[in-house]
A and B are shown apart, each in its own frame.
Chain A
Amino acid sequence: MSQSALRYKNDAKRGIKYTLMITGASGTGKTTFINSLLDTNLLPHRYQPIGSSIDEPTLLSYIGDFNYHSREFNPLKEYNESTIAITSSKIEILDDDGSKILLNVIDTPGFGDNTDNEVCYTEIVSYLEQQFDHVLAEETRIRRDPKFEDTRVHICLYFLEPTGHGLREIDVECIKKMSKFVNVLPVISKSDSFTQTELQGFKKNILYDIKKFNVPIFEFNYDEDEDDLETIEENKLLRSLQPFAIMGSKEKYEIDGQLKFARKYPWGIIDIEESSDFIKLKNVLFGSHLQDFKDLTTNFLYENYRSEKLSSVTEKEEEKFNGDVSTAFDVNNPSLSNLAALTLDDKHKDIDLDNNSDKESIRTPSMKSTGSFSNGPRPDVKTSPYKEVRDSIKNENESIISSIKNSPRMPYSPEPSRNQLRTISETVPYVLKHERIISRQAKLQELEERSARELAIRAAALEKKAAELKRRERMLKGGGFGINIKKESTSTDLSSIINQSP
């Protein structure tokens, strides 16, 4: 039995943790699809009162005054830029063979609703990155949190609007940005708006666009030599179907004596399982490719991210301490890149962690305060507390990094290196976290600076005008008198200079 199969079995006993994300323009039937897929009311619909879904989703992050919990329809508020939120809902699914899947569905209500939709994908991408950071931070810690929950997203269903044309600008941008952190599987939603031929044309257009704009999506790859015939056949079929065309329904109707999810129109009833790729997608998501998605996320995407992140941290330090390049490449020297391996070796040695908790307690309040800043009302432009906070964080960060670097750089004595290691493992999570805060603060500050600059320019212009006016006024008043004064003053100046020079 191969190792992955063994792991799968182990996982199955405890329940497989599986995170699914759904994005795409609102009104493309994401909620309906998920609810039909799971056959429950997991997610609440837009404008549905609280309590209509089995569990209220937890709000993970949001931008703007998105009031997720009062979903009532208010025609007056519709004009406001509704923004984007990221929510998570958890559910357990029991499979036929007794395995359990702990499914976490990440929803992104409000995506694509704004006039300027750039904020949507930046928010989603930063959420995805944050999950990677959490895992990275946890990995480098010496004493790991047994309750730590891996929230990395394994698969993202991207709902394309059924335009019949092709990909839109936002689709291309968003998928490109997201694919660094997650497997993206584009699906055509509301496929009941296409006739057979139109759907084929639309699929062709999308595939063409994907190729043309180099959009990285999840592909059903197979190995001619290694995989068995069945897998190859299956993947070939799935590949030919991509992007899957799906639809969902809120209602069940009786078809051939069975109660099934279906859509009822005056011109006919559609069984969503029969008339779309619904079943195939379900199989892919919860059966054939579940492990593939997980493996790809942890082994490929996350590893890439990790090596990139860690090497960027070390590079920064190397730049700063250019003097001792020769030692930096020393094998025994604990740099951040071989940190994980070192931590693994050192893990079993018991290390006093008291220091640690102290540090944490010191640092957390400062972070909290920054958090409240970003949510709080916009403070006065002139004081710019963002900058102070940012600088303080930056300084702190730098001091942490430099303390790592400065702390005994003696590769041949084991004792300090262990100490050093501890500091590293403590600090890396903080550095990562702080970097994130810094980047956010930088964004805010940039905005502020821009407005400040504008104000300054305007003020300068006004002042100039005032000076001009004053000058003119004096000219008018003084007439020739002013010139006399000027002459006098210049002459005295000259004479004083002459007097001084010898």
Chain B
Amino acid sequence: MVEPIGISSLPNQRYKIVTKTGGHLTLMVAGESGLGKTTFINTLFQTLLKQPLDNRSRHKRGIRSTTEIEIIRAELEEKNFKLRVNIIDTPGFGDNINNKNSWQPIVDFIDDQHDSFMRQEQQPLRHAKHDLRVHACLYFIRPTGHSLKPLDIETMKKLSTRVNLIPIIAKSDTLSPTETSEFKNRIRSVIEAQEIRIYTPPIELDDQASAEHAKQLIESMPFAIIGSEYEYDNGKGELVRGRKYPWGIAEVENETHSDFRKLRSLLLRTNLLDLILSTEELHFETYRTLRMENNDGSSDTQGGITTSRKLHNPKFKEEENALKKFFTDQVKAEEQRFRQWEQNIVNERNRLNADLDEIQQKVKTLDEQVKALQLKNKR
């Protein structure tokens, strides 16, 4: 027997290195508030990564809120393998009456991460790179049973060119199976018609099983999911994650109840590496190319673009216009008031003049009467 040279043990060496350094994943959750984003994150990693906002803090913030960006860092360990997870939450998105441009902070955040990573790469010393590029963005869709709203479409369009977009139907325990399939069909056709590019797992033709699995995943997009932080006894003596209703337990990990397992498989078990690589190769590269072309290769305007982008934020523009309008209105109102005053004064003067005339007239007539009487007296 010939001893192998040792090339085939290369994967094993790689394996060792990777286990030592650990992995790294950045996940973004976007969607209107009240769709269970926080709960989903906690369900996905099976720990309390993020405390749900309690109502007091919500009140403190006031009802008129803008989209914010929140970053949660955590380190997960399973079988001695460490995964550093960054969760990016977007509280406040879609909360207002006018949601125009409420996607802007999200898009800006993604671009900023690409930008900062690019600049770090250009530094002479680039060992400790701080990387917050978003590997996957979960977009939560409200389970209306109708279709996507214009706000959803617009936001998804903006996101899909920058990041791996995975649309999911939140709180799907309010839709019965027939309603769910109808809703899914509508969403799929809208996504297709509006040319929104969502993330699809690659189908490897040489591996029958994984190709089959990928196909299944693609078919069940957008995933309809349920989230829960609690575990209940499902009647068979097993403790399952689920939502306990008077009419039964909706199980999170039950394939007939929700697509949660499929989504987890896509996010963590089978396609995690692909998500990271496609971010690196596709989205970051596109951004880099665009930037380089715009900059003509010169790196001295590094700070310039970010600041100028901030200035061009349409939200500020709107505010500015509103302020200007307010100012002109105010001035107009004041002018109007002054004019009114003037008018009043003129009227008053006229009236007084008229009164004066009248009184003079009276005096005259009285005078004449006096004269007449005096004449009479004399006679």
- Residue ranges of A at the interface with B (Cβ–Cβ < 8 Å): 25-29, 46-47, 73, 75-76, 78-82, 113-118, 161-170, 172-173, 190, 192-193, 195-196, 205, 208-209, 212-213, 251, 263-270, 275, 450
A266:B177 contact, CB within 8 angstroms: yes
B174:A162 contact, CB within 8 angstroms: yes
- Please name the residue on chain A nearest to B196 by beta carbon: A79
Question: Chain B residues near A267 (CB, 8 Å)?
Answer: 245, 247-251, 254, 257
B34:A164 contact, CB within 8 angstroms: yes
A195:B59 contact, CB within 8 angstroms: no
A15 to B243, CA, bound (A): 46
Contact of A75 among B154, B174, B186 (CB under 8 A): B186
B99:A192 contact, CB within 8 angstroms: no
A308 to B149, CA, bound (A): 39
B55:A205 contact, CB within 8 angstroms: yes
**Chain B: interface residue total (CB-CB under 8 A):** 52
Question: Chain A residues near B246 (CB, 8 Å)?
Answer: 196, 275
B173 interface hit (Cβ, 8 Å): yes
B147:A78 contact, CB within 8 angstroms: yes
Contact of B99 among A80, A116, A164 (CB under 8 A): A116
Question: Chain B residues near A29 (CB, 8 Å)?
Answer: 145
Shortest C-beta distance, B218 to chain A (Å), equals 18
Q: Which of B187-195, B265-273, B285-293 interfaces with chain A?
A: B187-195
B194:A173 contact, CB within 8 angstroms: no
A163:B144 contact, CB within 8 angstroms: no
List the count of A-B residue pairs having beta carbons below 8 Å apart: 137
A78 to B176, CA, bound (A): 23
Most chain A CB atoms below 10 A, which of B145, B173, B194, B243: B145
List 28 interface pairs A-B (beta carbons < 8 Å), by A numbering: A26-B144, A27-B142, A75-B194, A76-B194, A78-B150, A78-B153, A78-B194, A79-B153, A80-B150, A114-B151, A115-B99, A164-B34, A169-B63, A169-B64, A169-B97, A170-B96, A192-B173, A212-B59, A265-B173, A265-B176, A267-B247, A267-B249, A267-B254, A268-B245, A268-B247, A269-B247, A270-B245, A275-B246
- Please name the residue on chain A nearest to B152 by beta carbon: A78
* Besides A73-B147, A190-B174, A267-B248, 14 other A-B contacts (C-beta < 8 A): A28-B144, A78-B194, A80-B150, A117-B97, A118-B97, A161-B142, A165-B55, A167-B63, A170-B97, A205-B55, A265-B247, A266-B257, A267-B251, A267-B257
Chain B 310-338 interface residues, beta-carbon cutoff 8 Å to A: 325
B148 interface hit (Cβ, 8 Å): yes
A266:B256 contact, CB within 8 angstroms: yes
A29 to B174, CA, bound (A): 10
Shortest C-beta distance, A411 to chain B (Å), equals 23
Question: Chain B residues near A114 (CB, 8 Å)?
Answer: 150-151
A73 to B192, CA, bound (A): 14
Question: Chain A residues near B243 (CB, 8 Å)?
Answer: 195
Chain B 151-192 interface residues, beta-carbon cutoff 8 Å to A: 151, 153-154, 171, 173-174, 176-177, 186, 189-190, 192
B244 interface hit (Cβ, 8 Å): yes
Shortest C-beta distance, A84 to chain B (Å), equals 13
Question: Chain B residues near A82 (CB, 8 Å)?
Answer: 150
Contact of A193 among B53, B63, B173 (CB under 8 A): B173
Question: Chain A residues near B64 (CB, 8 Å)?
Answer: 169
Shortest C-beta distance, B24 to chain A (Å), equals 32
Question: Chain B residues near A213 (CB, 8 Å)?
Answer: 63
A378 to B243, CA, bound (A): 53
Shortest C-beta distance, B31 to chain A (Å), equals 11
Question: Chain A residues near B129 (CB, 8 Å)?
Answer: none
Contact of B95 among A27, A113, A169, A269 (CB under 8 A): A169
A265 to B249, CA, bound (A): 10
Chain A binding surface, main DSSP class: loop
B190:A75 contact, CB within 8 angstroms: yes
Question: Chain B residues near A268 (CB, 8 Å)?
Answer: 245, 247-248
- Residue ranges of B at the interface with A (Cβ–Cβ < 8 Å): 33-36, 53, 55, 58-59, 63-64, 95-100, 142-151, 153-154, 171, 173-174, 176-177, 186, 189-190, 192-194, 243-251, 254, 256-257, 325
B99:A195 contact, CB within 8 angstroms: no
> Given A79-B194, A167-B63, A169-B63, do A193 and B144 touch, yes or no (CB 8 Å)?
no
A213 to B245, CA, bound (A): 32
A263 to B99, CA, bound (A): 33
Question: Chain B residues near A173 (CB, 8 Å)?
Answer: 97
> Given A265-B250, A270-B247, do A116 and B34 touch, yes or no (CB 8 Å)?
no
A251 to B245, CA, bound (A): 20
Question: Chain B residues near A75 (CB, 8 Å)?
Answer: 147, 186, 189-190, 192-194
A27:B146 contact, CB within 8 angstroms: yes
Most chain A CB atoms below 10 A, which of B59, B174, B189: B174
- Please name the residue on chain A nearest to B34 by beta carbon: A163
Shortest C-beta distance, B328 to chain A (Å), equals 9
Question: Chain A residues near B248 (CB, 8 Å)?
Answer: 265, 267-268
Shortest C-beta distance, A172 to chain B (Å), equals 6
B55:A172 contact, CB within 8 angstroms: no
Question: Chain A residues near B171 (CB, 8 Å)?
Answer: 162, 193
- Please name the residue on chain A nearest to B143 by beta carbon: A27
Shortest C-beta distance, A449 to chain B (Å), equals 11
A118 to B97, CA, bound (A): 6
A133 to B56, CA, bound (A): 42
B190:A27 contact, CB within 8 angstroms: no
- Please name the residue on chain A nearest to B258 by beta carbon: A266
A26 to B186, CA, bound (A): 16
Shortest C-beta distance, B321 to chain A (Å), equals 9
Question: Chain B residues near A76 (CB, 8 Å)?
Answer: 193-194
- Please name the residue on chain B nearest to A81 by beta carbon: B150
A62 to B176, CA, bound (A): 32
- Please name the residue on chain B nearest to A205 by beta carbon: B55
B55:A166 contact, CB within 8 angstroms: yes
Shortest C-beta distance, A264 to chain B (Å), equals 6
Shortest C-beta distance, B200 to chain A (Å), equals 18
Most chain A CB atoms below 10 A, which of B150, B192, B249, B254: B150
Shortest C-beta distance, A251 to chain B (Å), equals 8
Most chain A CB atoms below 10 A, which of B34, B97, B151, B186: B97
- Please name the residue on chain B nearest to A29 by beta carbon: B145
> Given A75-B189, A78-B150, do A117 and B174 touch, yes or no (CB 8 Å)?
no
A265 to B147, CA, bound (A): 21
Most chain A CB atoms below 10 A, which of B148, B192, B247: B247
A427 to B187, CA, bound (A): 53
Shortest C-beta distance, B240 to chain A (Å), equals 11
- Please name the residue on chain A nearest to B151 by beta carbon: A115
Question: Chain B residues near A165 (CB, 8 Å)?
Answer: 33-34, 53, 55, 58
Shortest C-beta distance, A291 to chain B (Å), equals 34
A263 to B245, CA, bound (A): 13
B186:A73 contact, CB within 8 angstroms: yes
- Please name the residue on chain A nearest to B248 by beta carbon: A268
Question: Chain A residues near B99 (CB, 8 Å)?
Answer: 115-117
A161:B147 contact, CB within 8 angstroms: no
A37 to B97, CA, bound (A): 30
Question: Chain B residues near A27 (CB, 8 Å)?
Answer: 142-146
Question: Chain B residues near A193 (CB, 8 Å)?
Answer: 171, 173-174
A415 to B130, CA, bound (A): 91
A26 to B97, CA, bound (A): 14
A83 to B143, CA, bound (A): 20
A25 to B150, CA, bound (A): 14
Shortest C-beta distance, A319 to chain B (Å), equals 10
Contact of B63 among A172, A190, A265 (CB under 8 A): A172
B176:A263 contact, CB within 8 angstroms: yes
Shortest C-beta distance, A119 to chain B (Å), equals 10
A78 to B186, CA, bound (A): 10
| In the A-B complex, the 6 residue pairs with the closest CB atoms | A27-B144, A163-B34, A268-B248, A75-B193, A268-B247, A267-B248
Question: Chain A residues near B145 (CB, 8 Å)?
Answer: 27, 29
Question: Chain A residues near B36 (CB, 8 Å)?
Answer: 164
A169 to B176, CA, bound (A): 29
